[in-house]
Amino acid sequence: MCGIVGAVAERNVAAILIEGLKRLEYRGYDSAGLAVIENGQIIRERRTGKVRELELAAQAAKVYGHVGIAHTRWATHGAPTEDNAHPHVSGDVAVVHNGIIENYEELRHELTAQGYVFVSQTDTEVVAHLVHRELQKAPDLLAAVQAAVPYLAGAYALGIILATEPKRLIAVRQGSPLVLGLGIGENFIGSDQLALLPVTNRFIYLDEGDIIDLGREHYTIYDRQGQAVQRSAIELDAQLHHSDKGTYRHYMLKEIYEQPQAIQRTLEDRIQANHRIQPHAFGTQAPDIFEKIKHIQIIACGTSYHAGYVARYWFESIAGISCNVEVASEYRYRQSVLPENTLFVTISQSGETADTLAALREAKKKGIFASLCICNVPTSTLVRESDLAFITHAGPEIGVASTKAFTTQLVALMLLVVSVAKVRGLELAREQQIVQQLQSLPVILDSVLAMDKAIERIAEEFGEKHHTLFLGRGAHYPVAMEGALKLKEISYIHAEAYPAGELKHGPLALVDHDMPVVAVAPNNDLIDKLKSNLQEVRARAGELYVFADSKVHITPEIGLKVFAMPSVSDDIAPIVYTVPLQLLSYHVAVIRGTDVDQPRNLAKSVTVE
């Protein structure tokens, strides 16, 4: 999704801006641009495609300035063209923007009537013209931005510069993430702190409605009432946030391989020596809240939604508490009824997904009992706005297709399920049994990762296919959904997941020798039913690829490939069976030559509706 970087410094900021944009590339984008001030003029470069194109253009043009703003754009209003790329300019004003200005049509109309000429189809251009218009009334950039902001409806983060102010940058945070980075004699803004880690590790996380007046040596933050306010700075351990591909060909592969360590980090400090969960693993108020809850509502998007879907089975079977799960974009606009004493659980890798945040805010308006979020980013908006938070500690996830974030979410969710189950009478021995199983995951996942070469070999067989079906039953149905999502995201092969019992109610009609069918077959109560479903596929000449518990006897034959999985308990099987499906998608995508880490049209963090 769109990214913002801005800098005010003694040195030339062009390289800082480009490096910052490169660090945001993983979020997904289709064009990029930057603007600096040189000799009282806005110098702007924009390119479609990769940041590298912009870098080459900036180098060729010898872009130089002590203040600048830069942007990666993920098209919402208007095609991904150079004209629509940011920064947008109105006279001496240049603007970069993340988010959406919802009333842009109305403003465009009004500004056009006042003589402004629009050269792009974006909603952002209205901001540039608005600030320009307000500058004519109050010739001070801060005052003009403060006067322009009340006209804007929607969610946005802005970076704004003025040609006559070569040492000043104004930034606004209203509903879209923006951080302030503090350097020595230089200051920065970024839509994600990752963008600024090469230049600082001191950050201020802004509140909604904040406007910052930024210079080299100083900054002032004004709240939405226009009062100057102090916000505390946080120092990040840059080492922890360091991320490069190492020896891996793609971030996604590296992140798949990082799962054993990531899970270990998720468990660290949450487990006591006697294999019990720390009572305060979900915060000091958690035990009191868990005592009173009667229902769980889980809300999330994408991969995080699949994690919630798995947890629904666990909540009901292990904790005996009713649980609903829904995608945030549906929930937020539905007239839903929340049962009394509902724990509202949001799941999000980034903690900035617009729909998930909006669903939480909607639910709060309705008056929820308590909210809890499971998130990978401790400084995110979702964490700040939830009553309880659990940080997964997966480490930065750069590949757009989520992998380690998912499996660590599942671990976090199982800890939550057991914590809730404890207050509802779960036996000590059962708690310890589940915890020990979670603790064994790093070793088990290492053995699954050892299947990589075998999976890579069969991936060849998917290279020319157009459709794939994924099957699972029970808690493995969402595992199949996640497998299908991974494959379509990165290989662009159409993939659908079905609960295997539904096969004969429709999808069986599609099955023929050209349609690979992937199934996950753990050793549980449903295995015999699943085997019958697989027979239904074989009888129609469907090509089956089955990841099966080594104790389940499924004999390979022509058209039926079986991958022996370690024999694990049903509690942790959804986590274990996720991994081979990630590897399969990865290798299929590599064979098809797609952009694995930044698949077309997708974004890592979807901060617009």
Residue 602 Cβ, how far from ligand G6P at the closest point, in Å?
A: 5
Distances (CA, A) of 477 to 148, 254, 574, 586: 50, 26, 9, 20
Query: Which residue type does 542 have?
Result: G
Number of residues that bind ligand G6P (CB under 6 A): 17
Residue 383 Cβ, how far from ligand G6P at the closest point, in Å?
A: 12
CA distance 300 to 176: 18
The answer to whether residues 570 and 430 touch, using CB atoms and an 8 Å cutoff, is no
Q: In the complex, which residue's CB is closest to ligand G6P?
A: 302
Phi/psi of residue 146, each to 5°?
A: -60, -30
Q: Which of 405, 348, 414 is nearest to 381 (CA)?
A: 348
DSSP 223-274: -TTS-EE---EEE--TTTT----TT-SSHHHHHHHTHHHHHHHHHTTTB-TT
CA distance 108 to 565: 59
Nearest residue (CB) to ligand G6P, 350 versus 578 = 350
Nearest residue (CB) to ligand G6P, 84 versus 303 = 303
CA distance 193 to 195: 5
Query: Running DSSP on this structure, what letter comes out for residue 316?
Result: I
State the burial class of residue 152 (Cβ atoms within 10 Å of its Cβ: 0-12, 13-18, 19+).
buried
CA distance 210 to 95: 17
Nearest residue (CB) to ligand G6P, 165 versus 397 = 397
Catalytic member of 2, 301, 373, 375: 2
CA distance 188 to 593: 37
Residue 327 Cβ, how far from ligand G6P at the closest point, in Å?
A: 10
Q: Rule CB under 6 A: say whether 302 interacts with ligand G6P.
A: yes
Contacts with ligand G6P in 526-555 (CB under 6 A)?
none
The answer to whether residues 71 and 158 touch, using CB atoms and an 8 Å cutoff, is no
Contacts with ligand G6P in 390-449 (CB under 6 A)?
400-402
Q: What angle do CA 603, 241, 348 make, to 5 degrees?
A: 45
Nearest residue (CB) to ligand G6P, 201 versus 392 = 392
Residue 302 Cβ, how far from ligand G6P at the closest point, in Å?
A: 3
Secondary structure (H, E, C), 345-364: EEEECCCCCHHHHHHHHHHH
Query: Which residue type does 585 have?
Result: S
State the burial class of residue 223 (Cβ atoms within 10 Å of its Cβ: 0-12, 13-18, 19+).
middle
Nearest residue (CB) to ligand G6P, 197 versus 606 = 606
Residue 305 Cβ, how far from ligand G6P at the closest point, in Å?
A: 7
Distances (CA, A) of 419 to 267, 413, 434: 13, 10, 11
Nearest residue (CB) to ligand G6P, 216 versus 312 = 312
Residue 280 Cβ, how far from ligand G6P at the closest point, in Å?
A: 25
Contacts with ligand G6P in 552-581 (CB under 6 A)?
none
Query: Which residue type does 219 have?
Result: Y
Phi/psi of residue 499, each to 5°?
A: -65, 130
CA distance 38 to 240: 36
Phi/psi of residue 258, each to 5°?
A: -80, -5
Nearest residue (CB) to ligand G6P, 88 versus 486 = 486
Nearest residue (CB) to ligand G6P, 31 versus 304 = 304
Choice from 98, 146, 303, 607 touching ligand G6P (CB under 6 A):
303
Query: Which residue type does 59 have?
Result: Q
x/- letters, 310..349, toward ligand G6P (CB under 6 A): --------------------------------------xx
x/- letters, 587..606, toward ligand G6P (CB under 6 A): ---------------xxxxx
Catalytic member of 22, 254, 486, 604: 604
2 tagged catalytic: yes
Residue 179 Cβ, how far from ligand G6P at the closest point, in Å?
A: 17
Nearest residue (CB) to ligand G6P, 18 versus 411 = 411
604 tagged catalytic: yes
Nearest residue (CB) to ligand G6P, 361 versus 551 = 361
Residue 411: CB partners within 8 Å, gap ≥ 6?
A: 263, 266, 267, 392, 438, 441, 575
Choice from 176, 356, 407, 419 touching ligand G6P (CB under 6 A):
356
Residue 239 Cβ, how far from ligand G6P at the closest point, in Å?
A: 23
Choice from 353, 408, 582, 607 touching ligand G6P (CB under 6 A):
353
x/- letters, 357..396, toward ligand G6P (CB under 6 A): ----------------------------------------
Q: Which of 149, 195, 174, 210 is nearest to 354 (CA)?
A: 174
Choice from 14, 214, 281, 301 touching ligand G6P (CB under 6 A):
301
Residue 599 Cβ, how far from ligand G6P at the closest point, in Å?
A: 8
Residue 547 Cβ, how far from ligand G6P at the closest point, in Å?
A: 22
Span interacting with ligand G6P, options 299-307, 517-525, 531-539, 575-583, rule CB under 6 A: 299-307
State the burial class of residue 154 (Cβ atoms within 10 Å of its Cβ: 0-12, 13-18, 19+).
middle
Residues of this chain that interact with ligand G6P (CB under 6 A) are 301-304, 348-350, 353, 356, 400-402, 602-606
Positions marked catalytic = 2, 604
